[in-house]
Each structure stands twice: as structure tokens, then as C-alpha cells.
Amino acid sequence: MGSDTIEILSNTVGLKGKAQLNFNYYGGKKNLKTNKLFNYTLVFFCLCLLSPYVNAEEGGIEVTGTAKESVVPDMATFLFSINGKGKVLETLKNEIDTKTADLVSLCKKTGVKTKDITSSEVSIRPEYNYQTKSFIGFNVSRNVKVILKNLDHYTDLVNGAIKSGITTISSIALDTKDREKLERKALGLAIAAAKEKADIMAKSSGVTLGKVIYIKEGGSPIRTEGFAFREKSSSAPVTQGVFEPGEISVTATVVVKYSIN
């Protein structure tokens, strides 16, 4: 016969001291192994039962802090699309290439550097009338991504792109060159807001804050908050557009948990 003694120490809320489990083993080696496996399994379940008390002692104050920083944008990213339809593929391809070249030339004239212009490969998609089983033609397209770092040329670029024959402006994303700095500032303010909220909760509860148990970051990327490109009147030429950049902002969110004294 053999025996094992296992002590489970507890220093949790409502469960002080230690518990001692004694296990006796009978029989041969085979039974000894079976008994040990059973007893260790029992210990595992005992520890699982103790876990709620352990978590209870880790109580504290958990708060969420949020802050937002806004700034006038100083750069923009455009996604232009150039499309064409027809039955002669070579002609369509040449038209797309010519319009792309005109757009790239315009971008460079408005101060955009070559590294800030990305032109995709030409996409060619044949189209059919499946009811009559006849060929309609080809749909040829290309996307051009442009990063404009001087918004003084915003209107010139948009109007010039329209004149060069682009089909659509798929997206315009305003941003700032100091985005990382803005994010760090918002993050610091969010942490301060969380601390202020935790102080109020602690004071109202008659306790004091202890150390930070953990801190987690969340948040949202910079987003556009109100910008517009409009024409002064329906009869005015396209070059009369007015650009209003508005503001962009970044929001930082943190979750902080403090111990309490």
C-alpha cells in the first residue's frame, strides 16, 4: 500500500487556510497507476472549484476611457477609375492607356510625386447576352491610386482628372501627415480619462485606487468628418469647384482595471 498527501493552499475571500487531501493506494502496480490517475483528476476538479474564489479576490475597478483629437486634414488619397466599353479590344486598351497617361501627367503637374501614384494592370472582361447567346463587347478598366500631400491642389486635381476622362472617383480619404502623433495624444488623453473616472468611482465607494492590474487598447482609425466638393452653380464650368476640407479625427479607447485599497 502506498499513499500521497497533497495540500491545497487557499488565501482567497471566504476560504482561508489549507485543505489536505490524503490518498491511499491498494493492489499491484496496475491498480496503483489507476488510483493515481483518479486522484490527480480529483485534485484538478478541486482547483476548478476554487477558481471562483480566486477571481473574487482579484476584484477592483474596471473603467473605459475615451478621447478624441481633431485636426484639419493636409493630405488626401484618391482612387480614380478609368473604364471603357466596345468590341475592338486593342482600341479600348489604347484609350485606357492614353487617359491613364494624361491623369499621371496631371498628377505630377499638381505636385504629386511618382512614388505616390499607383496604377493597376488593365482589367479586361468580355460581356455576353446570354439570352441571345451573342457577344456584346469588352469592358476594360484600370484603377489609379493617387496620394496628394498638398490640398491647395485638390480642386485642380479633381477637375483635371474629370477633364482627362476618368469614369469615376471611387473614393477620397482625407488624412494628416501627423496621424501617429495625433493617435498618441488621443491615447494619452484616453488613459487620463479612465483614471479620472476610476477616481470618482473609488471615492464614491469609500475606497482608494491601487495599482493598475491591466490596461487594454481599443479604438477607431482616423475618419473623415465632413468635407465636400461642390460646384458654385449648375451652369459654372468645372474649374469653379469649391473644396471644404472640414476636420478629421481619431478616437482612442482604453480599458483599465485598478486594484482597490
Q: What is the rounded CA–CA span in Å between residue 166 and residue 146?
A: 13
Q: Which of 142, 175, 208 is the last residue of a domain?
A: 175
Choose between 3 and 102: higher pLDDT: 102
Q: Which of 175, 206, 237 is the last residue of a domain?
A: 175
pLDDT one-digit tens code per residue, 105-128? 999 999 999 999 999 999 999 999
Structural domain of residue 249, as residue ranges?
Answer: 61-71+179-260
Helix ranges restricted to H, 110-246: 154-164, 179-205
pLDDT of residue 244: 80
* 67 lies in the same domain as 188: yes
* 203 lies in the same domain as 227: yes
DSSP H or E stretch at residue 53 = helix 29-57
Mean pLDDT of the chain: 79
* 103 lies in the same domain as 136: yes
* 210 lies in the same domain as 243: yes
* 101 lies in the same domain as 190: no
Q: Where are the beta strands (DSSP E) in the chain?
A: 2-12, 15-25, 61-71, 75-86, 117-119, 123-129, 134-148, 168-175, 209-225, 228-230, 242-244, 247-260
Sign of CA dihedral 79, 83, 89, 92: negative
* 45 lies in the same domain as 14: yes
Please report, in angstroms and rounded to a whole number, the separation of the first and last CA atoms in the chain.
50
